[in-house]
Amino acid sequence: MAASWDPEVLRESQRVAAKEARKDGIHWTFFPNADIARDTRWGRVTETMGEDPYLASRLVEAQIEGFHGRSSLKSQDSLMTCVKHFAGYGACMGGRDYDQVTLSEAELRNVYFPTFEAGLKAGAETVMTAYMDLNNVPATVNQFLLNRVLREEWNFDGFVVTDAGTIANLVTQGLAKDGEDAALRAMNAQVDMDMGSFQYVQFLAKLVGEGKIRESQIDEAVRRILKIKFELGLFEHPYADMDTEEDEAEHRKKALWSAQQSIVLLKNKNDVLPLSKDIKKIAVIGPAADARDDTEGILGMSNIPQAVTVLEGIRAKLPDAEVIYRPGAWLKRDIPNMVSEFVPDFCGKKEKERQTKEEADLAVSEAVEAAKGADTVVMVLGEAVNMSGEAGSRAALDLPGRQQELLEKIWATGKQIVLVVLGGRPLSLTWADEHADAIIEAFQPGWEGGNAVADILFGDVNPSAKLPITVPRSAGQCPKFYAENLTHQPVETQPKPYSRYWNEDGSPLYPFGYGLSYTTFEYRNLVLEKEKIRLGEAAVVRVDVCNTGSRTGAEIAQLYIHQRYGSDTRPKRLLKGFSKFELAPGETKTVEFKLTADDLRYYSCSKGDYVQDETTIDVWVGGDVNAKLHTVLSVGNEGEE
């Protein structure tokens, strides 16, 4: 949903989630995930709002607003929220879940803290600690995180809950001597609730009796938790109201709309898409094409997946066509992770897990023959649902199993190929980008995912989504993100096609903010209301955007800045504004952005504080991070009147 770049999509989707959950007796959600994800090997990329703190902050805020609704928490359709995992979890070493994190204070404050602070300002009642070790101190008892920043600087008065088992894990991580020591450290870090490790139950009374913990510390933790329970109305209304009406059809419509707004068109050679509905014979090929679990996604957690598959969506769209389905290659589904351990039937297994080589060869051959006889081929490839999520990191980002072989053999038939990709993370589609005619990134599109994909394929919906995360060419580029600092011998000035790696282009496969439409947009007339501003003053930026194509479509205009010099070096580009709007063919809209002093301020490593420098700021506006339309803003003590 982050690919929608639309807070309303997140707000409305979580509004529905809150209504459904509260009716089931659930009062508290461990969401939104406010982690910043810059390494696509990490499995929990799928839960996040992507790599950029500005975009992610706006979407975290929207989710909290959706979970809460417009009334108080006592309302029977409101959920208490929890921003997680505080903080820096997305920077785990090698993209390996749970592994250590080493981050400077400047990077924490400039990249990893803003989403959490935005979530707390939006009203999040609770904060969850992270599993990993941050700068040699596990996050669950990290005094810098929990006391100095969260309690003292941000004045957070809600309660802190651990992630599952993390207090006991302080012994495993080599910090605490034993469980008693771990409980003491957690209480002194003002951790209010122990989730699942039972260390507080075992040791707090003993620690109070020995005078190692004050009774007032226990009182304070209890007060914070009881306060939220009163605000939820649990003492007056402890049980779910089963008589509450629920409009399932309306919720399905929201699921469809959300998926439609979140599917990214990555390639469309010679305007292959949208496909004609007059197709007589279409081959749908790939192991994910008819997989409800892979379509529904890791956050569905259904024992019986409810998703409409891509195959079902295409068949519904083409009732009179011959739709031939061949899986072609199986995905390996028996990879262990947290979800498959907790929910044994999560993957919807109906057949044996493994194919013999002979069975696999036959399946590939059958798919090739089906492609040869079809007018058009839609391939649905990607990851099985349990290949992402918690404990779902991957060392490679290629298509798993025999899918790459399948893709190449179908391409060798000479047929037009439209590739739909499902999965919890962006995959390295370098070969596919060079050979497929069109590519659609659908991620894990949920209950109505198959219908949404079909709407995009056949033009009933014009795609508008943009990537909230950089897509690397290979895992060897990770972590790969747009907001890198300039370096000695900048990449842009080095000989092409290679830079930094002798065997691979240093640029991403698809850049942050990228996404195509069935129409085209042109950016013109980028102007500043004032070319010079004083420190602390806001700058107003305006640009004209014109729909130069033949179809109505929605565009997401993005504003980026770069500070040329100052107290510290700064990223070569930073997102500082975005706006989504629809334009008819030939229509032009003037889009206005405001760059505030907060947008130009950052935490300086050299100053040890937040600063705004007298400097020169490059400003770009366009349809992705590589926007070309450019102007220059001067910031100083001497400004225009």
Superfamily of domain 263-464: Glycoside hydrolase family 3 C-terminal domain (3.40.50.1700)
pLDDT at 343 over 60: no
Query: What counts of helices (H) and strands (E) characterise the chain?
Result: 18, 21
Cβ neighbours, 10 Å, residue 567: 17
Q: What angle do CA 17, 15, 445 make, to 5 degrees?
A: 55
pLDDT at 338 over 50: no
Distance (Å, whole) CA 115 – CA 507: 27
Distance (Å, whole) CA 401 – CA 394: 13
For the segment 610-633, the average pLDDT, to the nearest whole number, is: 98
Instruction: Give the rounded percent of residues in the chain with a pLDDT score beyond 90.
Output: 85
Confidence of residue 72 (pLDDT cuts 50, 70, 90): confident
Confidence of residue 346 (pLDDT cuts 50, 70, 90): very low
Q: What pLDDT does residue 298 have?
A: 84
Distance (Å, whole) CA 468 – CA 330: 29
Tokens matching residue 515: 């996404």
Q: Which tens digit of pLDDT belongs to each residue from 6-47?
A: 999 999 999 999 999 998 899 999 999 999 999 999 999 999
pLDDT at 352 over 60: no
pLDDT at 243 over 80: no
Closest CA to 417 of 402, 434, 435, 400: 435
Distance of CA 368 to CAs 175, 275, 291, 361, 393, Å?
56, 21, 20, 11, 31
Cβ neighbours, 10 Å, residue 608: 10
| Every domain of the chain and the residues it spans | 2-232, 263-464, 521-636
Please tell me which residue in 6, 39, 163, 293 is annotated as part of the active site.
163
| 300 or 375, higher pLDDT | 375
Q: What pLDDT does residue 347 have?
A: 38
Confidence of residue 76 (pLDDT cuts 50, 70, 90): confident
Q: What pLDDT does residue 276 have?
A: 97
Distance (Å, whole) CA 182 – CA 313: 52
Backbone angles phi, psi at 389, to 5 degrees: 90, -170
Q: What pLDDT does residue 332 have?
A: 60
For the segment 371-375, the average pLDDT, to the nearest whole number, is: 95
Tokens matching residue 167: 């207090």
Closest CA to 44 of 443, 391, 426, 422: 391
Q: What pLDDT does residue 353 have?
A: 54
- State the amino acid at position 454 in one-letter form: A
Tokens matching residue 544: 């004209």
CATH classification for the domain delimited by 2-232, as one of 1.10.10.10, 3.30.499.10, 3.30.70.260, 3.20.20.300: 3.20.20.300
pLDDT at 341 over 50: no
Q: Which tens digit of pLDDT belongs to each residue from 282-301?
A: 999 999 999 999 999 987 66
Which top CATH class is 521-636? mainly beta
> Lowest-pLDDT range, 97-101, 208-212, 240-244?
240-244
Percent of the chain that is helix, strand, coil (3-state, to 5): 30, 20, 45
pLDDT at 337 over 60: no
Residue 131 makes CB contacts below 8 A (sequence gap 6+) with 85, 89, 97, 98, 139, 140, 163, 166, 169
Say if residue 590 is exposed, middle or buried (CB neighbours under 10 Å; 0-12, 13-18, 19+): exposed
Cβ neighbours, 10 Å, residue 219: 10
DSSP secondary structure letters along 550-577: SS-EEEEEEEEEEE-SSSS--BS-EEEE
Q: What pLDDT does residue 357 have?
A: 84
Q: Is residue 35 within 8 Å of 90, Cβ to Cβ?
A: yes
For the segment 155-169, the average pLDDT, to the nearest whole number, is: 97
User: Rounded to two decimals, what is the model's pTM?
Assistant: 0.95
For the segment 486-496, the average pLDDT, to the nearest whole number, is: 82
Task: Count the residues in the chain.
Answer: 641
* End-to-end CA gap in the chain: 43
| Beta-carbon-side half-sphere exposure of residue 222 (alpha carbons within 13 Å) | 7
Q: Which tens digit of pLDDT belongs to each residue from 571-583?
A: 999 999 999 999 9
Cβ neighbours, 10 Å, residue 133: 22
Q: Which tens digit of pLDDT belongs to each residue from 39-52?
A: 999 999 999 999 99
Assess whether 163 carries a catalytic annotation: yes
Tokens matching residue 332: 């390996």
Q: What pLDDT does residue 334 have?
A: 46
Confidence of residue 354 (pLDDT cuts 50, 70, 90): low
Q: What pLDDT does residue 521 have?
A: 98
pLDDT at 181 over 70: yes
